[in-house]
Structures are given as structure tokens and as C-alpha cells.
Chain A
């Protein structure tokens, strides 16, 4: 990875404007890819481009999408958060046991789950910032810790009962749009405001582009890192609540594997492991590409397991296109 650093001269020196422009170009490419996918899908299946199906896609995208907003901010700082799957998993039994079937306990349950996500995120961020450890391994470790806590908390079996009101609130429709989709959009908007309009957003890019330079120029690097991991824990917990609202039943492993889907969506959207570039706009397109292609596999009646193959091919192909296009820029 160090060689890569040395090989990309434009990266640390891009400046805010250049970065935003190149980020826009990258994110334009991914939206074009989404458009191409929609055109192809419409041609192969008349059921794809229907209002019902499109709204369905947005609803299905909500879990990965919500969690991916936080992970995008983390990855712009040059980090990664692999603990989101474990946090999504823990959300279900934690909320369901607090609710215990009672509508009156819904607010407490939601607050507890969000607090849990924040706590995991703050722990991740603090250790990463203070001890300067590789986020990849550290968040794997905290994921194992959270899974262990989940198992201890529930005694190993699915626990708790989801209150009937919980499902009806999140799955209610305002006009044709489900509340889940609206929550997803609001999280995206909030993330975009942080990324574009707030000091925190600029600091995130600076830390990702060059942590030493950011530190020397007075950016509170450690506080910025703790904040982005806290946001990532928070959005993962919210994603866990969205998943629980969709499934309606408590389970200990509902979030297993979500960290990979989230990671794939973020990287598809143009936010790389190197840090310092990318953004939430591209991530939304990445999420929609992933979910739309799963949806297409379903509509075409292909073997459900083909989804995994399609996902893998799309991840590699999109990342390759992105890498090849940036290489051309460099040589030009």
C-alpha cells in the first residue's frame, strides 16, 4: 500500500476543489453504471421498471444503505469498519428483549440500540486513534467481542419479542413511500451535510489524504477519528433496527456478512481504502447497484445462490473499471 501512496502524486495534493471535482467525476461514473444496469434490467424483464419494484429496491437497500453512510466517512479517513455486521446483529435481540412485545417500550429500545452502536464506535475510534493500530484487524476483534456479548446476552438463542407497533411504524407508507426508505434518505442527507457543509467533513478528507499534514496544520486528528467511528457505529445500529423492522423476528446472526456488503457498496461508490477521496453520493449509487442486481437475479427467477456470484463479479468489475479509469487520468 505504501508503494501505491508513492505512485499517486495527485492524491495528497489535490486540494479541496480538485478533490471535489475528481470525486464528482468518479461518482458520475458509478451513476452511469447504475443507469446502464437499469436499462439492461428493463430490457430483460418488464417487471423491473415498475413503481412497486423500484420502491421495493429502495426499501431493500435501506439496511446496507444506512450502515454504508457511516462506513463511507470512516473509509474517507483511510480506515475501515468491519464491526458493523456484529452491531447490526446485536441490534435485533437488544431491541426485542427491551420491547418484549410492548409498544410503550419502543422508544427506550431504539435509544438503547443507538447507544450500543455509539459505544462500539467510540471504542473502535478511541483505540484506533490512541494506539494507531490497523483498523482492519482491530474492528475484526471488536466484531468478535460484540458477537460474544450478543451470545452471552441472549444465552445463545434468539431472544425477545418485537412489539407490533415497531413493525407497523417502520413499514408504514407515507403516500407510496415506506418509512424505511425515508429514514434511509434522511441518513444520506445528514451524511451529505456532514461531508460537504461541516468542518468535520473537511477534516475527514484531510485526515484521509495525509494524517501527518493534517495533524501539523492543527486538525484534531484523534477527535476526528473517534467521531467518524462513532457515526459508523450509530448508523450500523440504525441499520440493525431497519433490518429488525423488515424481518420482524429477533435473531442473533441477522447481521452476519453485512460488513462485506457494506464494504462492497462503499468501494463500488468510489471511496477507496487509500482514504482522502470518495463520498456518500457514490456510496448511494453503489448500494443501489448491488441491490438492483440482486433484485434482477430474483426477478429473472435465477437460482438464489447466483446472487453471490453476481455480487462478486460486480464488485471486481466495478472496482477494475474505476482503477483503470483513474490510471488513464494519471498517464494523460
Chain B
């Protein structure tokens, strides 16, 4: 936040150059980690392993696409993890093995996502409270809602529903296709619709955007609705992958999504970045985790490496705009 104040005072040219480096940075890191795996880790470059990585990364990828919209407006959505968790317990709890209810719970997940997203957006616009506080409050409310519904793992996903996560079209897992579809739609909306252009304008400079006649409040609410919808879809996918309703299933997704968006080159101060970098960062994180697994490194060290990657990446990504 200090960064945003002093960075703004610096020239835009420098920011542009730094952005170009950052954009390439995540792709370079992704290519390097893949190359490392192909050369040094025998089990890495197999179809089975690629499928497993793509399947695991899909839910985070979907929720991170929604988070990208919100962060582009200089906002943040910390409620998405618990929102996913709520959809997981509701979907599997309600179906409880009955395939006839699949359409109903999919619709429910989407409606819950849209509803929570709209609530976040409207609260932020109406009260002018910082997004981090509103969505933190929502995180807490959703966590309470989950545990009022159930404090233990409930329900079961019917095999037909689990196909969403474990089935595949030819060699490509369904989960990956779903994520790719969400990402492509997200990228197209940002690039080709007025809504997308307004989101960039809003994050670039809100008061300028307002003066230019952009309906700021409506665009903001729209961004949180997109984030809620993405979290709802990710929750449905996670429900299919887990196969039962674990109350804390979504815990941590909110922070991982924010990390992926920032690693992908979208500035927390808004206005710059996009979906492609986010997806690259999601795969970078997934592949690093996968490599550590294949190398037989303990999950504790993996946690440590995960943290160091975040620290390193955030340090590198801002190295170009150091205070004089």
C-alpha cells in the first residue's frame, strides 16, 4: 500500500518496462520448471502425470480467473475459499449419492456464487468499506454458515457427478476443459467487452473513470459477481473431485488465488494484468508442487518452498520499482 503511493509518483514508462519483465517472468519460470521436470524428473513428462497436474490445478485456476477481475479493479475477494467450501458441503450433502439431483445442485452452486458475489459487491459500493474487510467479514459469515449446516464430512457425490473431475475427453481431463473454458471466456470479456475495458479503467484510476462517465458502482458489483460465479463453479468442480462434503474443503483457496493473480503479473493496485498470466501462475505453482512430490520431498519442506516462492516472486516482481 505504501508501494502504490510511491509507485504512482514515478514515471509510467518505468512501470511499463517493469510490467513487461513481470509478464515474461511468470512464463519464463513456468518454462524453466517444465524443462527441469522433463530433464531431471523421470516420472514428470508422462501423460498420467500431466493429467493429474491439470486436474488438480483446475479448481484454483477457475477461482483465480474470478479473482483477477476483482484485483484489476484494485479490490480483493477473500470470501471465495469459504464460498467454495459452502458449495462443496451443500452439493454433496444434498445429492447424497442421488444422480437425479445433479442439475439441481449445479444450479444451486451457481446461484449461491452469484448471490454471495452480488452481496459483496453491493456492500462494498454502498458502504465504501475496503473490499478486504467486507470480504473478510463474508469469509467469516460463510464459515459460520458451513458449520451450522454441518460440522463433519457429509454426503456423497454420485459416480456420474465425479466424472466432471475424473472423466476426460480423449486425453484431456474434463476439469482442465472446464478451466480452459472459464479462462477463455474471462479473457474475451476483459479484452472485447465494454465491461472488461471499464474494469481496467476503474483499476487504473477510479476518480478519472467516474469523471469519464463510467458507471463505477455497477462495474464494481459486476467484478464481484464474476468472482462469486467463478468460486461457485470451482466449488462444484471441487465437490466432484473430493466426492464428499468436507467443511473446510475451500480453506486457503482465497489466499492461493490472490497469490496466483499477483504472481501472474496483475498489480494489487489494479488496472494492469490479465487472465493469461494468472493461469500461467496457477500452473507454475501446481508444477512446483508436483515436482517436489515426485522428488519425494516431504510436505513440510514443500510448504516452506511454497512460502519462499511467494516471497521471491513478489520481491522480483517489484524489483523494477524500487524506491530511490
Chain A interface (Cβ within 8 Å of chain B)? 1-7, 77-80, 127-128, 131-138, 140-149, 151-152, 156, 207, 210-212, 215, 225, 260, 263-264, 267, 272-275, 303, 305-316, 319-320, 322-324, 327
Q: Which of A4, A138, A313 contacts B314 (CB 8 A)?
A: A138
Q: Which of B129, B145, B205, B300 contacts A2 (CB 8 A)?
A: B205
B140 and A267 form a contact (CB under 8 A): no
Cα–Cα distance between A171 and B173 once the two chains are bound (Å)? 56
A312 and B1 form a contact (CB under 8 A): no
A144 and B133 form a contact (CB under 8 A): no
Q: Which of A2, A79, A212, A215 contacts B206 (CB 8 A)?
A: A2
* Residues on the A chain within 8 Å of B7, using CB: 132
* Residues on the A chain within 8 Å of B301, using CB: 148, 152
B8 and A134 form a contact (CB under 8 A): no
Residue of A nearest to B303 (CB): A148
Q: Report if B318 contacts A (CB, 8 A).
A: yes
Q: How near does chain A come to B127, taking the closest CB pair, in angstroms?
A: 4
- Given A143-B307, A264-B137, 17 more A-B residue pairs with CB atoms under 8 Å apart are A1-B4, A2-B206, A6-B207, A7-B207, A132-B318, A132-B321, A133-B318, A141-B307, A141-B314, A145-B308, A151-B300, A156-B299, A305-B144, A312-B136, A312-B139, A312-B143, A312-B144
* Residues on the B chain within 8 Å of A322, using CB: 129
Q: B residues 194-214 with Cβ under 8 Å of A?
A: 205-207, 209
Q: Report if B310 contacts A (CB, 8 A).
A: yes
A323 and B128 form a contact (CB under 8 A): yes
Q: How near does chain A come to B269, taking the closest CB pair, in angstroms?
A: 6
Known contacts A1-B269, A79-B2: does B303 contact A144 (CB below 8 Å)?
yes
Cα–Cα distance between A79 and B323 once the two chains are bound (Å)? 16
B140 and A135 form a contact (CB under 8 A): no
Cα–Cα distance between A128 and B4 once the two chains are bound (Å)? 13
* Residues on the B chain within 8 Å of A156, using CB: 299-300
A211 and B307 form a contact (CB under 8 A): no
Q: How near does chain B come to A218, taking the closest CB pair, in angstroms?
A: 15
Contact with A along B121-137 (1 / 0, CB 8 A): 00100011110111011
A273 and B130 form a contact (CB under 8 A): yes
Question: Which of A79, A128, A133 neighbours the largest number of chain B CB atoms within 10 Å of its CB?
Answer: A133
Q: Report if B262 contacts A (CB, 8 A).
A: yes
Q: How near does chain B come to A290, taking the closest CB pair, in angstroms?
A: 11
Question: Which of A1, A128, A152, A267 neighbours the largest number of chain B CB atoms within 10 Å of its CB?
Answer: A1
B1 and A144 form a contact (CB under 8 A): no
Cα–Cα distance between A322 and B133 once the two chains are bound (Å)? 12
A263 and B136 form a contact (CB under 8 A): yes
* Residues on the A chain within 8 Å of B315, using CB: 127, 131, 133, 138
B314 and A134 form a contact (CB under 8 A): yes
Known contacts A133-B315, A137-B258, A137-B314: does B5 contact A315 (CB below 8 Å)?
no
Q: How near does chain A come to B272, taking the closest CB pair, in angstroms?
A: 12
* Residues on the B chain within 8 Å of A311, using CB: 137, 140, 144
Cα–Cα distance between A128 and B7 once the two chains are bound (Å)? 14
* Residues on the B chain within 8 Å of A263, using CB: 136
Q: How near does chain B come to A11, taking the closest CB pair, in angstroms?
A: 11
Cα–Cα distance between A250 and B3 once the two chains are bound (Å)? 38
Contact with A along B289-324 (1 / 0, CB 8 A): 000000000111111111111110011011101110
Q: Which of A2, A305, A309 contacts B8 (CB 8 A)?
A: A2
* Residues on the A chain within 8 Å of B309, using CB: 141
Q: Report if B268 contacts A (CB, 8 A).
A: yes
Q: B residues 33-84 with Cβ under 8 Å of A?
A: 74
Cα–Cα distance between A131 and B2 once the two chains are bound (Å)? 11
A2 and B310 form a contact (CB under 8 A): no
Known contacts A132-B6, A145-B307: does B139 contact A260 (CB below 8 Å)?
yes
Question: Which of B133, B306, B322 neighbours the largest number of chain A CB atoms within 10 Å of its CB?
Answer: B133
Q: Report if B236 contacts A (CB, 8 A).
A: no
Known contacts A303-B148, A308-B143, A323-B127: does B134 contact A135 (CB below 8 Å)?
no
* Residues on the A chain within 8 Å of B307, using CB: 141-148
Cα–Cα distance between A263 and B78 once the two chains are bound (Å)? 13
* Residues on the A chain within 8 Å of B13, using CB: none
A132 and B137 form a contact (CB under 8 A): no
A312 and B148 form a contact (CB under 8 A): no
Question: Which of B1, B259, B302 neighbours the largest number of chain A CB atoms within 10 Å of its CB?
Answer: B1
Contact with A along B7-25 (1 / 0, CB 8 A): 1110000000000000000
Q: Report if B255 contacts A (CB, 8 A).
A: yes
A142 and B311 form a contact (CB under 8 A): yes
Cα–Cα distance between A319 and B139 once the two chains are bound (Å)? 15
